[in-house]
Structure 1
Amino acid sequence: METGKVIEAAIAYFENDIRRISHLLKVYGFAKAIGEKEQLDLFTMECLETAAVLHDIGIKISEEKYQSSAGKYQELEGPPVAAVILKKLEFPAPVTERVAYLIGHHHTYDKIEGMDYQILVEADFLVNINEDGLDSSKQGLDSIRKIKENIFKTKTGTKILESIYLSKVN
């Protein structure tokens, strides 16, 4: 697994955009922790970790091309950028294909297929809840409960969500 090289490439791609770099590192950290606790096989773990680092890689092009960072644009623009990065890093085609699929669907929640996909979505939510300020109001807490009910499926991800955002209010 060459996650360090992927992180280095993503940091270079985002240049001095510390907000995006911090986001990808936080999502990567949660994804790695959940994946390890859920005991993913090596291939699935490699796909998960790589996708976690690159999941928002399409955001720069989305903002330039559409003046928007909306998820649908990230899903559209991210896979080709990721494929170029992974080709330069000489990743095997099966990993690159799965990572492109995950990036191209990480904002689509109605047809989650595979533990790597599920965990990527959970990790992104764990970070976005805080970054979007949902954890600071009653309405936000209601939203977090709905996210837990509708999105979270892994024991580890659910436990982390509860521990961070719901433990003092239950």
Structure 2
Amino acid sequence: MASMSQLTMAMVTLYSGDPKRIQHFMKVYAFAKMIAEEEQLGAKQREIVEAAALVHDIGIHAAEKKYRSAAGEYQEIEGPPIARAMLMALDFSPALINRVCDMVAHHHSYDKIDEVDLQILIEADFMVNAYEDGLPKRNIKSFRDKIFRTETGIHYLNELFALEN
């Protein structure tokens, strides 16, 4: 079975020449890993969260090429097959591959959060996107109140953006 280091290297290679996107998935990975640890997920679920965080936007280049857009809906369409191929090539387990691909297919579908692993991915991705996109505090607070569920994710978001409860 492959390691997160091998998956990270594969993603860096895939995104060669795109430092903005490499830095994005690395930041999402760091937040997702910390939230999963603080929320005391089991080892298998933490591995799923970490792998999903690394590959969550894996379909972005394909979406830009095919649809001329990096919109989340297109990433959700294009990402799972690419993620599946990469994870299979690195010899991850079928269970991990299936769950990670499902998470990639829904990481912009906030009404389809079915498990804590997807919840954590969405929270970590939002934290990074909110900063990278320069979202106003009122929008961040509104998203927090509607979507965030983990104590750790809420704490990190509040601290990052100096939000009040």
Band the TM-score falls in, shorter-chain normalisation: over 0.9
Q: TM-score, normalised to structure 1's length?
A: 0.94
**Alignment pair present for 1:64 and 2:60:** no
Q: Percent identity?
A: 45
Q: TM-score, normalised to structure 2's length?
A: 0.97
Q: 2:159 aligns with which of 147, 153, 163?
A: 163
Q: How does 1:83-98 map to 2 (within 5 A)?
A: 83-98=84-99
| Offset at residue 71 of structure 1 (A) | 0.3
* Partner Cα distance (2:160, 2:129) in 1: 13
Per-residue displacement from partner, 1:76-134 (whole Å, max 9, x unpaired)?
Answer: 00000001101110011000000000000000001201111000000000000000011
Segment of structure 1 superposing worse, 1-10 or 157-166: 1-10
Q: Which amino acid aligns with 1:119?
A: I
Q: Which runs of 4+ in 1 moved over 2 A?
A: none
| Offset at residue 24 of structure 1 (A) | 0.2
Per the alignment, residue 17 of structure 1 pairs with 18
Per the alignment, residue 100 of structure 1 pairs with 101
* Partner Cα distance (1:166, 1:146) in 2: 14
* Partner Cα distance (2:92, 2:66) in 1: 28
Give yes or no for contact 2:106–2:112 (8 Å, CA) kept in 1.
no
* Partner Cα distance (2:112, 2:94) in 1: 23
DSSP-derived class of the 1:106 partner: coil
DSSP-derived class of the 1:110 partner: helix
Q: 2:139 aligns with which of 139, 143, 152?
A: 143
| Offset at residue 17 of structure 1 (A) | 0.3
Number of aligned pairs?
A: 164
Q: Which amino acid aligns with 1:29?
A: A
DSSP-derived class of the 1:122 partner: helix
| Offset at residue 43 of structure 1 (A) | 1.3
Per the alignment, residue 137 of structure 1 pairs with none
Q: Which runs of 5+ in 1 are unaligned?
A: 135-139
| Offset at residue 16 of structure 1 (A) | 1.2
Per-residue displacement from partner, 1:121-149 (whole Å, max 9, x unpaired)?
Answer: 00000000000011xxxxx1110110110
